[in-house]
Structure formats: C-alpha cells, structure tokens
Amino acid sequence: MSKKPMTITEKIFALHANKEYVQAGDLIEAKIDIALANDITGPIAINEFKKTGFNKVFDKARIALVPDHFVPNKDIKSALQAKQLKEFVWEQDLEHKFDVGTMGIEHALLPEKGIVTAGDLIIGADSHTCTYGALGAFSTGVGSTDLGCAMATGNTWFKVPSTIKVIFNGKLNKYVTAKDLILHLIGDIGVDGALYKALEFSGDAIKEMDMDGRFTICNMAIEAGAKNGIIEPDEKTIEYLKNRSIREPLILKSDMDAKYERIIEYDVSKIEPIVAYPHLPENTRSITQAIKDNIKIDQVVIGSCTNGRLEDIKAAAEIFKGKKVHPKVRAIVFPATQDIILKSIELGYYQTLIQAGVAISTPTCGPCLGGHCGILADGEVCISTTNRNFVGRMGHIDSKIYLASPYIAAASAILGRIGSPEEL
C-alpha cells in the first residue's frame, strides 16, 4: 500500500485494482468480491450475461441472487421472474441458494450470512447495495447490464469518488435513532448533496451505535446521491463478523491526513426524531412540527432493508406493548430475514405485536416499492420506515408517504396520526 494518504474507500479501490495508490477522479478496473441481484434486476442481468457468450460465471461462490421483491410471488409475471432466477442459480450451481423460507431482504440477509465482509468490493443491481458499507466495505448499486458482465468476468470499472466525511458527535436523545441521523443529513444537504461521492460516517454517536443502526445509515447514503456510504470497522464490526464471515475480513481505516472534499459535523444532542414529508427524503421536519401538523394516517409500515432488523422490531414492540393499533389504521411489520423472525418470536416481540393488532409478514420488499402486501389507494397516507417516499412509490400516485423511525411509526399507528411515543 502506498505511503500517500488515502481514505478507506480509496484503499479498497487500490487493493482491488492492484494499484499502490488511487485518488478521486481516477478511472479504474477493479476485481469484485460479491455480485448480487434480486428477482426484478436479476433476470435482466442473466439475459445480459448470456449475451456475452460466457457459459459459466466467474466464481460460483461470489454471486448471490436473492428473490425478495415480489416474493412470495404476487402474480404470474413475478412468478416467471423468480423462476428464471432459480433456474440460473441451479444451472450455474451457485454456492448461495435462496428461496422462500430461506431467503430474506437481500441487504439484511447477506451480512447476516457472512457473504459480505470488511474490505470487500461489492456491486449489486439494487441501489441500496450501499448498506454493506457499515462493515467497512465498498458497496454500490450498478445497472443490470454492468452486473451481467461482471458475473462473467469478475471485474467492472469505476470512477473513484471523492469523500465527504460526516461526523456525528454527542449522545443521542431518547427515541432518536440512526434513521433520524441519516434523515437529518439528507434534509440538510439534499438528495443530490453527495452526488457520486463517498459518505464516510464517524464520530461518538457512530462508535456507540450497534451494527443494526450502522446498516440503516449506510443504506440511505444513496438517498443523498452518494456512490457509497462507509464506516471504518471497529471492535463492534469485528465482533459482528466473528464466526459469521465466510472470508477473512480486511480491516482498513482512513489515513489521518487523507483528503476529504468536505467535512460536515453535527451535535446529535440537538437532533430530535425526524419525519420526511412527501415526496422526497430531503423534505424533513422535526417530530414537534409533525405533531403540530396533525397528519392523519391510514397505514404504517415497519420493515424493509432500512429498518427491518431485530433492533427495529424490538423498538416497535416496545411502543406497542399493552396498546392497540388505532381502529382506522392498518399496521404491517416486515422482518427482514427468517433469523430475525425466529429471534423476535423467542424474545416475545411477535406476541406483543399481534396482541396490538399488527399484521406480520414474511420477509419481502413488497410494500416499499409498491409491489404487494401494502399498496396504497388514492388519497391514502402512510408513515413508513422504508427509504423512499417518491410520488407513487407505494401505490397510487395520489397517495402520500412519510418516512420515520420505528419508534415514530409505531406511536403513529396507535395515535392514528403522526406522533411521538412521548404522547402515549
């Protein structure tokens, strides 16, 4: 490794491009560790792979095809997509085989199974592939055509992004979570505030944060336009990867004198729970303002690749315990993996949720992208722990989506309007 200072993102690129040093703006060809796709993007990538003339993938241990968007199959077209994915997995004898009952939402499943690890270079035909930066990996979304070619060759090209360092200092207030921090950042810099940049997260609040929260923050880096989100590995990362990672983790850190395009600092003690109003994640307000606005809701969704982990189910159960979902509201919880479901049952979270009147789903991305299991009708309003609230994202173009943490979403389900646990 070069003695010239580099950020963690640049170091990962240099290693995978077999170079001593890279810097922002360099065009490189790099070796990938994991390529992934789902039942929407995977079939397109498979078709492109076949057009290359290759008969075999570059490494059957380094490709993960996860059916998670329209499964369990919602209709004939989605069944055909899932079928094509499954046939390719078995035809290529890919090491990682997932289906209903063993799969989960891809961006929670792959870290849980140890398929992605620290120091990796990961591409996925899904924009929220940036989630794995929480492990100290470079991970980013690509188009299905790029993925199809990478499945054949094991390489792809990149322009090395410049890095914005975001420092979250201080101690979080009660009911303030990782979701609130990332929404606060997006509200501050905008949905294009980090366009094709690396967002490197650090500070006291990140050090204190568990892995579930770190995944949430990196997951939504793309909502600020970022190429990737990344957090330097520490003791918590190493503990998470221990007895889990199927490859040896590579622990890298940014050099003290690494070059950053910009450094942004926040005192998290001044941040309260955040709600993103329609129709962009940057359209943020404080929960205090949202309560004043008296926003009646029809649906609550808690789950997704952003907030469907055990910490999120625990937060929802904490708020719902001994209470009931408002009679005019439907509340749906989507745990992200089978393992999270099992642990939620063991810890009593499922009993609490069901007694409160919550519907619980098998793992799926369904409602997040307006696929199934939670479609909104004309004029309906939803508060969701998902990552996007674009026009028509969860159904009818005249519906409205507000984004928030599991604490705020659960409290809102009980109140029948957007509100805080402190009102209960």
The dihedral through the CA atoms of 211, 215, 420, 329 has a sign that is: negative
In a domain, 98, yes or no: yes
DSSP 391: T
In a domain, 59, yes or no: yes
How do 262-267 and 274-276 pair as beta strands? unpaired
In a domain, 227, yes or no: yes
Is 103 in contact with 82 (CB distance < 8 Å)? no
Do 244 and 316 lie in one domain? The reply is no
Note down the domain range covering 347: 273-423
Query: Whole-angstrom Cα distance, residue 382 to residue 400?
Result: 6
Query: Whole-angstrom Cα distance, residue 259 to residue 52?
Result: 39
Do 149 and 288 lie in one domain? The reply is no
The two three-digit tokens of residue 7, written as one number: 């950020």
> Among residues 241, 265, 289, which one ends one of the domains?
265
> Is the pTM of the predicted complex or chain greater than 0.85?
yes
| Distance from the Cα of residue 259 to its chain's centroid | 27
Percent of the residues in the chain that have a pLDDT greater than 70, as a whole number: 100
Backbone angles phi, psi at 36, to 5 degrees: -135, 155
Query: pLDDT averaged over the chain?
Result: 95
Query: Whole-angstrom Cα distance, residue 111 to residue 371?
Result: 24
In a domain, 41, yes or no: yes
Do 178 and 92 lie in one domain? The reply is yes
pLDDT exceeds cutoff 70 at 2: no
> Among residues 242, 265, 288, which one ends one of the domains?
265
Do 120 and 249 lie in one domain? The reply is yes
In a domain, 174, yes or no: yes
Do 108 and 254 lie in one domain? The reply is yes
pLDDT of residue 79: 94
Q: How far separated are the first and last CA of the chain, in Å rounded?
A: 55
Alpha-helical regions (H) of 57-143: 76-91, 106-112
Query: Which of these, 75, 62, 220, 43, lies nearest to 145 by C-alpha position?
Result: 43
Is 231 in contact with 214 (CB distance < 8 Å)? yes
Do 366 and 398 lie in one domain? The reply is yes
CA distances to 305, 330, 348, 354, 411 from 344, in Å:
17, 20, 6, 12, 19
- With 0-12 CB in 10 A as exposed, 13-18 as middle and 19+ as buried, what is 348? exposed
The pLDDT of 152-161, averaged and rounded, is 96
pLDDT tens track for 347-399: 999 999 999 999 999 999 888 888 888 999 999 999 999 999 988 898 999 99
The two three-digit tokens of residue 163, written as one number: 């890095």
Domain count, the chain: 2
DSSP 62: S
Do 329 and 375 lie in one domain? The reply is yes
Do 122 and 208 lie in one domain? The reply is yes
pLDDT of residue 278: 96
Do 146 and 28 lie in one domain? The reply is yes
pLDDT of residue 370: 83
In a domain, 3, yes or no: no
pLDDT tens track for 84-109: 999 999 999 999 999 999 999 999 99
pLDDT exceeds cutoff 80 at 245: yes
> Among residues 265, 291, 317, which one ends one of the domains?
265
pLDDT tens track for 265-275: 999 999 999 99
pLDDT tens track for 306-351: 999 999 999 999 999 999 999 999 999 999 999 999 999 999 999 9
pLDDT of residue 97: 94
Do 290 and 141 lie in one domain? The reply is no
Query: Whole-angstrom Cα distance, residue 168 to residue 216?
Result: 15
Look-up of token digits 């926040």: 266
pLDDT exceeds cutoff 70 at 227: yes
Is 109 in contact with 103 (CB distance < 8 Å)? yes
pLDDT tier, 53 (very low <50, low <70, confident <90, very high otherwise): confident
CATH number at residue 367: 3.30.499.10
pLDDT exceeds cutoff 80 at 1: no
Query: Whole-angstrom Cα distance, residue 309 to residue 180?
Result: 16
pLDDT of residue 158: 96
In a domain, 1, yes or no: no
DSSP 17: T
pLDDT tier, 133 (very low <50, low <70, confident <90, very high otherwise): very high
The two three-digit tokens of residue 171, written as one number: 């101690």
pLDDT tens track for 176-214: 999 999 999 999 999 999 999 999 999 999 999 999 999
Do 178 and 208 lie in one domain? The reply is yes
What is residue 374's three-state secondary structure?
Answer: coil
Do 200 and 330 lie in one domain? The reply is no
In a domain, 2, yes or no: no
The pLDDT of 33-58, averaged and rounded, is 94
Written as one string, the DSSP assignment of 232-278 is: ---HHHHHHHTTT-SS--------TT---SEEEEEEGGG---EEEPT
